[in-house]
Structures are given as structure tokens and as C-alpha cells.
Structure 1
């Protein structure tokens, strides 16, 4: 009976033990130095490993990270059990050899990272089993040669990195086994020679980086012929000295081309033929001294052009004639001396222009450029352009937009001025306090004989009737007016402030001197008529600006004036300027919206006369403000809060009164203590020590009147007379009226010792 019970008890415990033994084997066991995440990701990065560790149950592992170790060799059995592996990271090791069958069982692998190792070559067939591989990094190794067999079987590959190796050449059909490749990195190698069929089979390639190699010339247009889908081509930092004409004609979808930091000194007129979709062209850091007039004509979609750090000395007026979408142009750090004024007239989208770093000669040849810059600046269509003069010595260091037209004299070498920029016999004098503006050549209409006559642009914009245009007055050497050329053909609109006369126009007579002067220049208008700028109703995102206009008495205005407001985040590192144009005959006030809370702003008001503004106006009519923090009462449209300065003064006064009251209370309390102390000492001094002292014996009356003193005995001999006990006796003890009770208790000895001095 007992044996049966024991048998029944053993069966269930045996099953439980068997289950506990089998349970851990159902889960993958991580190698000792590694970590596991969700039993599918083995993390062995930076563990000091010298060989690939083995996982106990690797069938469910998806990613295996072994980067940053000291692994030197990959054997045929390191990954043979990882059949489900999808991502393998072996970067930053010391791998010198890969067994040809190392990846034989990784048919599901999609990403393989072998970068930053010491691989000297890719043995043909090593990667052929990776039929699903999409990303392959073999960058920063020591691979010196490739063949078509190196990538056989990788038909699913999308991205291949071979940068930072020792490649010296690429033969025919090197990448022919990669029909789905989209991104190919070959930068930072030593490639000097490219076969004509090097990129055969890459019809879907979108990105190709060949920068940082040793190419000296590209002469075969068939080289890039197979790359019909190429979007980005980088050829920077090579040693390119020659580009064949039509080299890129088979790249209809190319959007970005970089040829920067090469040694190009000459470009064929058809070097960029076929690049109708190109949006960005970088040619900085070369040795270009000139550009063919038709070089950029095929680039009708170009938006960004960088020609900086070359040796350009001049540009043809039609160089950018077909670039109607050009937005950014850099000509900095060249050898430019002058530029024609109509050079950028056909680029209406241009908003960033870099011209600094050139040796500009500020003479009459730059007047057209100065007028164009002023017109574009006045309309808020162009960021600040810096043109600093180097010649003549009298203007060295000054900026072109701060000069008047009469300061731009003919060049000393006798070079002719550009058309429409010849000096007149009576150059307009500089008006003090008006700052820099290009409108001095385009518009002061004054009547007195000592003031210059009106210019052509002013006559066209403000005074001339329809179909009639005033010709500009001649400048220093011209005895008679010289007509400007007809408006050039351009794809973009020419701003109204550029003084292009209509054909068949004839000079308009100057008004008689009996009439008051006619002000048509916006700089004069700002100086003579604007006043009393103020800001009101400041909120967190809005502010109201008001100003006043003096009565139009003398001088007089021609037609109504408009206004515009400029507001700028004060002190911001990034240039931020916004303009608000107000309608004619409107109230001299405006409300600026969408401001940032708790931000300082600079607000300026300017006049607009005949569609023109003062290009570089002195900011005389400006006001600063700081918007309120977000959520304030003013921002919510509530009542305006109290004056902050007054509130601060009131708080300071209240604090001073409270402090004075506290000091007075403390002083009065201290004084009261001193006075009361003196009174008590004079009236009834109390000595606590004397009250309980045993030097003056306390004698009980023996009659039982006071039991408080019955425990204290005198050491003096008893007297026969007794004193009457009074209240004063308890304090002063004036006489020895206490007598011994005649009997001493034996238990009072310790009391005497306790209170003895």
C-alpha cells in the first residue's frame, strides 16, 4: 500500500522535472559576452572579440552585430547555422580574409556591412549566395581591383559602397550584374582610368560619386551613356583638366553636377549639352578665366550656379541670358573688375548673388550694375550684395551702393563706359544725409538752376505721358543728351525702376524756375516729409505702427505717395527682412501681424514714389520694440496693463515703508526693555541667589506659621526672642528674626549639603 502511494507521488514530480529541463532549451542562448534582444538580435559590438562566437539556438536570429572587435578571419562555419539572418554587421574589425563559403547559407541576408576592415580583394563567388542582398558596404578596405565576377548573383543590390579603397581603374562591365543598383559610391579611391563600358548595365542608377580620385580627363561621351536615370553625378576633387564636348548629353535626368576643385581652365561651348533638367552646377575651385557665351544656354532649369574661386576676369552680357530660373549665383573670389548692367536682367528669380572677393573698379562701367542692384533691393527681391571698390584709390574700401553716380568717373585707362552710363556735363551733387541710393541717377526733379535736371527714369516713371519718354541728360564729356539703347530681349520682366526709355521718345522740357521744386526722389521724400514714427498696441504677435506726413507746401510732390514698412528681427544672425506695402491714400498707420513673442524688432517706414523706393535709405524713421511674452493680456486683446516703471516705483516705496516700520518696532521694543529694566532695579531688586542662600540661616518660627523654612537650620546658637514674619522678610531678610525650632531632623542633612554654596 505504501509503495503504491510512493509511486503515485513520484510520477507528477518526474514530469515537472523533465519539463523544467527542457524549457531553457526552447529559447536561444546568447554567447557569454553578448546581449540578446527579443531572442532575435545578437549584440556583440565592442566586446574585444577575436573570433565569431557561437549561438546555441540561432535559427531565429535576424540581426547579428559584431562591429568594433578584433576579428581577423571569417571561416566557413561562423554563420552556417544562421539561415534566417537578415542583417550582419562586421564593420571596424581587422578582417583580412573571407572564406568563399562564409555566406553560403545566408540566403535571406539583406544587409551586409564589411566596411573599415583590411580586405585586399573580393574573391569571385564569395557573395554569390546572397540573392536577396540589398545593401553592401565594403568601404575603407584595401581592395585594389574589381571584376564582374566580384558581384555575381547580387541582382537585388540597391546600394553599394566601395569608397576609401585602393581602386586604380574600372574595366568593362564591372557592375553589369547589378541591374537594380541605385546608389554607387566610388569616391576617395585612386581611379585614373575608366573604361568606356565601366558602367554598363546600370540603367537604373541614380547616384554616382567619383569625387576624390585621380582623373585627369574625361573624353568619351559613351562613358556615361548607360546612365539614363542618373540624378546626381559628383566629379569633385579630381585632377580634371579637360572635358570633352557633349560628355553629358546622355544624361537627360541629371539634376546635380559637381566639378568643383579640379584644374579646369577651359570648357567647350557644348560641354553641358543635353542637361536640360540640371538644377545645380558647381564649378568652384577651378582655373576658369572666361566662359563661352553659349556655355550655359542648355541649362534652362538651372537654379544654383557656383563659379567662385576661379580666375574670371570678365563675363559676356548674355552669359546668363537663358537662365530664367536661376536663384543662387556665386561669383566671389574671382578677378572681376567690372560687369555689364544687363548681365542679370534675364534672371528674375535671382535672390542670392555673391560678388565679394573681386578687384572691382568703381567707375562708370558699374553704373548699370548699381542701378540693377538698387532696383532689385528696393523690391525686396535680392539679399544684400557686397561690391567693395579696389580702384580708384580714392574709393578703395567703399561699397558700390554707398556711392553716387557722379563719383563713378571714366576709368583712367581710357576704356569706354558702357552704353547708357556716360557721364554728363552737370553731374548731380550728393545730397547730404540721404545715404546711398541708386536713384540719384534716376530721379531728382528740382527747379532751381543749381539743382540738376530730371533724369530719364524719373521722367518715364512720373512725368512723361503715355508714348513719350525723356532722354537722359548727358554726363561730363557729353555736350548733348545721349539716348539709351532699346530694351534688351529677356525672358524675365524688367523692374520699373530700371530706366529703359521707350523708342521714339523725345526730351521733355524742364519746368520754369518760378514754380516750387518738384520732389520725385523717394530719398528726398523720406527726409523732408516723414516724421513722428511711433509704435502702439504692442502684443506678442502684432503691433500697430503710426507716422505723420508733413503738409505738401514747398517743395511739392508729383502725384500721391505710397508707403511701405520694413520690419526686421533686431540682432538676428540670419538676415530677416519683410516689407509691407500700403495702398495709396491710405491712413499713415499699419498693423504688423505674425510676429514672434518676446522678440526685439526694428520697424522702419519709407515712401514709395512712382513705384520706386530709396535703395539704401538712411534709417532715420525707425523705431525699436520688443513684443510681449506669449499669453499676456495685451496679446489676448485685453486691457493694457499698468506702466511697468510706475509699478516698480510703487513696489519699491511699499518695501521701504515696510522696512521702516519693522525697524521702528524693533527700536521701540528695545527701548521699552531698557526703561522697564531700570524701573524694576530701582523699585524692588530681586536676588534669586539671596532668596535661597544658606549663608543667612533661615529659622523656623517653631510655631508652625511657615512650614517652607522648617527644613533649614541655623548653625548659630538659638536665641530666646523670635521675630514676626512679614512679606518683606521673605525677600530682603532684613534681620535675623528666625529662630531655631529647637529640634533638628536627621533627614535634613542632605538638604543642607544640596543648597550649600
Structure 2
């Protein structure tokens, strides 16, 4: 019997093992996925697998496999996906994938493969995804990808490829995604990307490219939408390099060493929406460079050495939304530089060497106007010069503060004269005079043409030290500018001292002198308010709410401050407003220093100079600011000079009345004592009452006055059966009708006669 059981167990185990399709240390999922990932395998599983043609997915990633023979996958003819990533494979035999006719995805990344031999992948006609990334491939040939007509995505990143030879990807007509980043590519043949007319994504970042000059390199990539060339060593981009990439949407050249861009470097990129040029060595933006970018939406020129930007640099970019010029060497910008970019909403100008003088007056006015219409996010322009304004932001400066008299006073004079020219109807004369002066509106230094790589490197060094040199050589710059064939002419600039400042340019340099005012002096808007501050003159007509805030609102005070209310008062100087309009006010109050901001505007329609704030929070600090509303317009970027702090009164907490509390506690204790005594007395009375009721109860229960009922025993209900000779100390039947016996001693007293006892009992 035992031998029979042993034979039966062996037979069952043999049948079970025959039906199993999973080798040791692997799992099977739905009979189609053979999962051997992260099992510590050093070779492919050798166990006999029944029906291997049913396996569609074979996962062997994360092991220590270092060799693949030519017969390891011959039985998996229906395999669709093969994963061999993160192993130690050093070589692949030419016939390893010969039988995998239906394979669509092959993952060979993160191994030690040195090359892809010719004919290794020739049988994979249906292959769509091929990962050979992070290996040790140094060279590729055209035959490496032979017969892969269905391939859509190819990853070759993370290898050691040094050059892309002629017609390398010619056998991949349907390729859409090609990743070649993190290699050592120095040279790209002009026909390397030939026959890739459907390619959409090309990543060449983190390589060793130095220049982009050949116009045929990307000429056949007509469908390309993303081109990544960041983190190379590119120092020059030639003209028309991307001219055939009309569908390109994103171009990244971040973190290179670009010193020079050809004026037609972006010619043909009519569909480009995002251009990234951050982290390079550019010192300026060439004139007309960005004009071909008709649909550009985002420009990134951050972390360069740009010291000036021409006024018309962004003029043709009607769809521009985001501009990043942070971390450069800018000191000033023209007020008209973004005048044509009506959809611009984000402008990053942080970390520049801004000089807050009259040259920023126009830009500040444009910025305030854009904020007033709600079209622009907050722009941070922090002053570095002059020292008196260092650390302050341009939004918080008024016009008088921008009329600098420091080291850049001469440049400000030229800037003012140019602003006067802009008031004249002849724009061409203004541009012509600016060209003759050869001085930029934002920097005040001549523009030099590019003369080669050596001179570009010299420009880079000069741009780094330009800020220090500019502070000490302003006079020489003006002299050089005046000596550059400038015709002798004079300009009149309005001066608060009722004199005309004349700048006459001669061969010896500019001569500054004061003269009597002309019959029609020209003055800037800010100078009118300087006149008002210096002496009492004719009251000006006020139409700008920003200027009204700075010059006519004063003496803001807080009165009647309570826990939830506060009265704010202010004073307004006399002024002349525009016709058919009145000056109103709005009050902003905000919790100061609170983690959750709470700000609210209150508009005062009447011309009152006081307001009572309601619904405040007790014991809270508020910052209250007053602003004007003129012709339904407000100053969005107000200087916040007319503010005051308000601290609401805390709510008085009522003191504890200990006497009342003592009385209440005594009353409660007395009540508790009364309740306890009441319970005790009630129980005592109940006990006594029960004792009294108990005797009556017994007499009622056992009294012979109750009607007698015959028990049917044949015994008479009268006392004829009473035996008078019965002993006294025995239990006697008091009443036979009740059938209850009582001890006679309980009811009979020893001194009472028998007749009296019987008489009492009968009653």
C-alpha cells in the first residue's frame, strides 16, 4: 500500500511539473508574461518550458546576466516585448534575435554593450521601440539599424559616440523620437539625419558640439518640433542653420558658450514658440535677430552678459508672453522696448546692475501703465546705483528721485535731450541723431561690430568689467562720442531754476552752460512737480493718479481706534483737476506680518478726507494706505508712501468675581447637603412607617373578621370542634378555618386568664 502511494505522488508531481511553464525564480502572469526581474540571475533560465510560444512578454531586467547565446530566444517566436535592461551584457551574437519576428519592443539599456554588429537587428521588422542607452557604444554604422522600417523611438543616449557619419539613420524612415544626449559627439555629417522626414523630437544635449554653421545639418528634418542643443560647447551659431525647421516649436541652446549669433541665425523659424538661450556669454542681442520669430511666446536670455538691448529688439514679436533677462549686466532699458508686445505678461529683470536715473524714467512709465491695465505681473527692478538708492525698487521711486546728479549726470542730460526729440513729430530725425551720437539710450557707449572670435572673447571680458569702468570714464565716453563726427548743435533742456541748460558739442568735448529761458521752454512731466515742490507757483492740472499720490496726499493719521473699527484721516493739497472729473480716493488695509494675507480696497465716492474701517479683527496690526482715483483710473504700482499703521484694541476680558463664585459654590454645597439630609430623613421615616404598617397588616391578614370560606374538608366553620382541654404550651389551632397555627405564648400573657385570651382572639 505504501509503495502504491509513493508511485501515485511521483506521478502527480511529474504531471504538475509538465504542466508548469515557469522556470525557477520566475513568475508567470496570465500565462503570457514571464517575469524574471530582479531575481539575481547570472544566466538565462534553462528550465524546460512547455508551450514557450505562448509567452508575449519576457522581463529579465535588474539581474547579472553577462552573456546571451544565439539559442536563448529561439523558442519564443511570439514574443512582443523583451526587457534586458540593467544587466551586465557585454556582447550580443548576430543571430540572438533571429526568430523574434513579432518583437515590437527591445530594451537593452544600462548594460556594457560596446557596439551593435551588422545584422543583429535585421530580423526585427516589426520593432517599434529600441533602447540602447547607457552602454559603451563608441561607433555606429548604417547597417546597425538595417531593416528597422517600423522603428518609432530610438534611445542612444549615455554612450560614448563621437561622431555621426553620413546616412547613419537612413534606414529609419518612420522614426519619430531620437535621443542622443550625454554622448561625446563633436562632428555631425551634413547627411547624418537624411531620410528622417518624420522625426519630431531630437535631443543632442550634453555633447561636445562647438559650432553650428552647416545649413544642411538639420535641413531634412521638416517635421521636427523639439530640438535640444543645451549643455554643449557651442560658441557660434551661423546664419540660416535652422531655416528649414518651419514646424519647430521649441529650441533650447541653454548652458553653452555662445559668444556670437548671426543676424539670420533664426531665419526660417516662423513657427517657433519657445527659445531658450540662458547660460551663455552673449553681450547683446543683434539687431533683427528675433524678427523671424513671428509666433514666439517665450524668450529666455537669462544668465548671460547682456549689457544693453536695442529699442526695436522685440518689436516684431506680437505674440510674446514671457521674457527672461535676469542675471545679466543691464543698467537701463528704453521705455519703448516693449511698446509693441501687447500680450506680454511676465518679465523677469532680476539680478541686473540697474542704475536708477533719468534713463529709466520712460521704462518706469511704461511699467506703471501696464500694471494699471492689469496686463503685467510684478516686475522687480532693484537699484544698484547711485548709492543713495541702492537696494530700492523702481516701483517705489518718484520722478524727482530719478533725476540723478551723481556719476551719470552727463548721460542723463543726453537722455533727457533724446526724450525731448521724441516729442517732435519727426521720428526719422530722432533716429538719425541717435545714430550720429553713436550712444545707446540705455548704456551710453558705442556699438562695435563683431570682428572674430578673439575680439568676441575680448568683448566678453570688457562686458564683465564694464560696470566698474563706466563709473570712472563717463567723461571720456562723452568726449569720444562727441568726437565721432557729430555736427555742432545745441539742445535745450528744461531746468527747475528757470534757466535753459545748453549742451554744445565741439571738438574739445561737450560744454554745459545756463542761459535765460526761451519763449517756449520744453519741460518733462516730472519737472513740473519739482517746480511745485520748490516754490508756490500756478497749480498744475493733475491727471495722473500716481503723481497725485506722491505730491498732494499727506498727513495720514489714525483716530478712534477700537477693537473692530478705526477712523483714518488724511489731508489733500489744493490742485486743479481735469474738466468733468473729480478726485476720489481708495483705502487699502492689510494685516501686517500675518502668515495669511488679507487685503481689501474701499472706494470713497464722495470727496471726503476720512473713512471709518469696519469689521476689523481685534488686537491685530493693519497697514492702511491712501491712493487717489482720477477719471476711474488708479496707480497700480503706487509708491505706498502715504500709509500708516493701526493696531486694533484687544477685547477686554472680564475679571473673575471670586466673591460671587464663592457664594455660588456655597449655595451648591448647601443644596447638596440638603439633598443628602432629605434622602436620609426620607429613608428613616419610611422605615418607621413600615414598622407601624406591619402590625396592622398582620392583623388584617389573619383576622377572623374576614368571611370564612369552606375548604371542602368537612370541618365545621364554627368553634364546635374546639378542644378546651388542650395544653397551653403546645401549638394550638386558633382558627381552623384559616388552617394556620400560632404559638399560643405570642398572644397569651401568663397573667391573663384563658377566657380573656380567647375572647381577644375571637374579636
* Partner Cα distance (1:258, 1:572) in 2: 41
Matches within 5 A, 1:315-334: 315-334=309-328
Does 2:337 match 1:343? yes
From the superposition, tell whether residues 345 and 33 of structure 1 become closer, same or farther in structure 2 (CA, over 3 Å).
Answer: same
1:165: Cα distance to partner? Answer: 0.4
**SS class of match (1:368):** helix
**SS class of match (2:261):** coil
Counterpart in 2 of 1:616? 638
Unaligned runs of 5+ in 2: 421-491, 502-516, 527-535, 612-620, 681-763
Does 2:444 match 1:418? no
CA shift digits 1:388-431 (9 cap, x unpaired) = 223223333333223222223255373343257779xxxxxxxx
From the superposition, tell whether residues 572 and 82 of structure 1 become closer, same or farther in structure 2 (CA, over 3 Å).
Answer: farther
Q: Tell me which of 295, 299, 303 is aligned to 1:301.
A: 295
Counterpart in 1 of 2:381? 387
CA shift digits 1:692-732 (9 cap, x unpaired) = xxxxxxxxxxxxxxxxxxxxxxxxxxxxxxxxxxxxxxxxx
**SS class of match (1:226):** coil
Q: Tell me which of 582, 587, 602 is aligned to 1:560.
A: 582
CA shift digits 1:218-243 (9 cap, x unpaired) = 22111101100110111111111222
Whether the 8 Å CA contact 2:559–2:569 is kept in 1: the answer is: no
Does 2:26 match 1:34? yes
Q: Tell me which of 352, 355, 361 is aligned to 2:346.
A: 352
Q: Tell me which of 125, 136, 147 is aligned to 2:141.
A: 147
> Which stretch of the first structure deviates more once superposed, 602-611 or 523-532?
523-532
* Partner Cα distance (2:261, 2:365) in 1: 31
Does 2:430 match 1:409? no
**Higher helix proportion (structure 1 or 2):** 2
Whether the 8 Å CA contact 2:552–2:574 is kept in 1: the answer is: no
1:27: Cα distance to partner? Answer: 5.3
CA shift digits 1:476-502 (9 cap, x unpaired) = 7544666599xxxxxxxxxxxx99xxx
* Partner Cα distance (2:270, 2:657) in 1: 76
From the superposition, tell whether residues 334 and 475 of structure 1 become closer, same or farther in structure 2 (CA, over 3 Å).
Answer: farther
1:317: Cα distance to partner? Answer: 0.9
From the superposition, tell whether residues 618 and 395 of structure 1 become closer, same or farther in structure 2 (CA, over 3 Å).
Answer: closer
* Partner Cα distance (2:602, 2:238) in 1: 51
CA shift digits 1:182-229 (9 cap, x unpaired) = 111001111111101000011011111111111111221111011001
From the superposition, tell whether residues 178 and 571 of structure 1 become closer, same or farther in structure 2 (CA, over 3 Å).
Answer: farther
Does 2:26 match 1:47? no
Whether the 8 Å CA contact 1:526–1:607 is kept in 2: the answer is: no
Q: Tell me which of 94, 98, 101 is aligned to 1:104.
A: 98
Matches within 5 A, 1:356-505: 356-407=350-401, 408-409=403-404, 411-412=407-408, 414-415=410-411, 416-419=413-416, 478=501, 479=517
1:472: Cα distance to partner? Answer: 11
**SS class of match (1:406):** helix
**SS class of match (1:150):** helix
* Partner Cα distance (2:72, 2:274) in 1: 47
Q: Tell me which of 148, 153, 158 is aligned to 1:159.
A: 153
1:657: Cα distance to partner? Answer: 6.1
Counterpart in 2 of 1:747? none
> Which stretch of the first structure deviates more once superposed, 338-347 or 242-251?
338-347
From the superposition, tell whether residues 551 and 577 of structure 1 become closer, same or farther in structure 2 (CA, over 3 Å).
Answer: closer
Whether the 8 Å CA contact 2:122–2:148 is kept in 1: the answer is: yes
Whether the 8 Å CA contact 2:116–2:140 is kept in 1: the answer is: yes
From the superposition, tell whether residues 514 and 338 of structure 1 become closer, same or farther in structure 2 (CA, over 3 Å).
Answer: closer
From the superposition, tell whether residues 248 and 378 of structure 1 become closer, same or farther in structure 2 (CA, over 3 Å).
Answer: same
CA shift digits 1:568-622 (9 cap, x unpaired) = 9998999x99999989889999xxxxxxxxxx99998854324341523428679
Aligned length: 550
* Partner Cα distance (2:104, 2:663) in 1: 78
* Partner Cα distance (1:300, 1:472) in 2: 39
From the superposition, tell whether residues 581 and 298 of structure 1 become closer, same or farther in structure 2 (CA, over 3 Å).
Answer: farther
From the superposition, tell whether residues 296 and 81 of structure 1 become closer, same or farther in structure 2 (CA, over 3 Å).
Answer: same
Does 2:184 match 1:190? yes
* Partner Cα distance (2:19, 2:280) in 1: 62
* Partner Cα distance (2:226, 2:61) in 1: 31
From the superposition, tell whether residues 145 and 294 of structure 1 become closer, same or farther in structure 2 (CA, over 3 Å).
Answer: same
* Partner Cα distance (1:377, 1:339) in 2: 17
1:331: Cα distance to partner? Answer: 1.5
Whether the 8 Å CA contact 2:306–2:329 is kept in 1: the answer is: yes
1:383: Cα distance to partner? Answer: 2.4
Whether the 8 Å CA contact 2:102–2:126 is kept in 1: the answer is: yes
**SS class of match (1:74):** coil
* Partner Cα distance (1:568, 1:231) in 2: 47
**SS class of match (1:344):** coil
Task: Give the structure-1-normalised TM-score.
Answer: 0.62
Q: Which has the larger radius of gyration?
A: 2
From the superposition, tell whether residues 384 and 665 of structure 1 become closer, same or farther in structure 2 (CA, over 3 Å).
Answer: same
Q: Tell me which of 154, 157, 175 is aligned to 1:181.
A: 175
* Partner Cα distance (1:133, 1:78) in 2: 19
**SS class of match (2:365):** helix
Whether the 8 Å CA contact 1:359–1:389 is kept in 2: the answer is: yes
Q: Tell me which of 120, 124, 129 is aligned to 2:114.
A: 120
**SS class of match (2:154):** strand
**SS class of match (1:85):** coil
Counterpart in 2 of 1:729? none
* Partner Cα distance (1:659, 1:97) in 2: 98
1:160: Cα distance to partner? Answer: 0.8
CA shift digits 1:321-377 (9 cap, x unpaired) = 111221111212222222212112121222222222222222221211222222223
1:133: Cα distance to partner? Answer: 1.5
From the superposition, tell whether residues 660 and 393 of structure 1 become closer, same or farther in structure 2 (CA, over 3 Å).
Answer: same
Q: Give the aligned CA root-mean-square deviation in angstroms.
A: 4.9
Counterpart in 2 of 1:275? 269
Unaligned runs of 5+ in 1: 1-9, 424-470, 486-497, 500-511, 539-544, 590-599, 626-643, 677-757
From the superposition, tell whether residues 180 and 529 of structure 1 become closer, same or farther in structure 2 (CA, over 3 Å).
Answer: farther
* Partner Cα distance (2:395, 2:571) in 1: 31
From the superposition, tell whether residues 340 and 619 of structure 1 become closer, same or farther in structure 2 (CA, over 3 Å).
Answer: closer
Whether the 8 Å CA contact 2:557–2:644 is kept in 1: the answer is: no
CA shift digits 1:35-58 (9 cap, x unpaired) = 222222222222111011146233
Task: Give the structure-2-normalised TM-score.
Answer: 0.62
Counterpart in 2 of 1:523? 549
**SS class of match (1:417):** helix
Whether the 8 Å CA contact 2:371–2:637 is kept in 1: the answer is: yes
From the superposition, tell whether residues 517 and 331 of structure 1 become closer, same or farther in structure 2 (CA, over 3 Å).
Answer: closer
From the superposition, tell whether residues 546 and 32 of structure 1 become closer, same or farther in structure 2 (CA, over 3 Å).
Answer: farther
1:387: Cα distance to partner? Answer: 2.1
* Partner Cα distance (1:173, 1:405) in 2: 64
**SS class of match (2:337):** helix
> Which stretch of the first structure deviates more once superposed, 471-480 or 349-358?
471-480
Whether the 8 Å CA contact 2:556–2:571 is kept in 1: the answer is: no
1:288: Cα distance to partner? Answer: 1.3
1:61: Cα distance to partner? Answer: 2.0
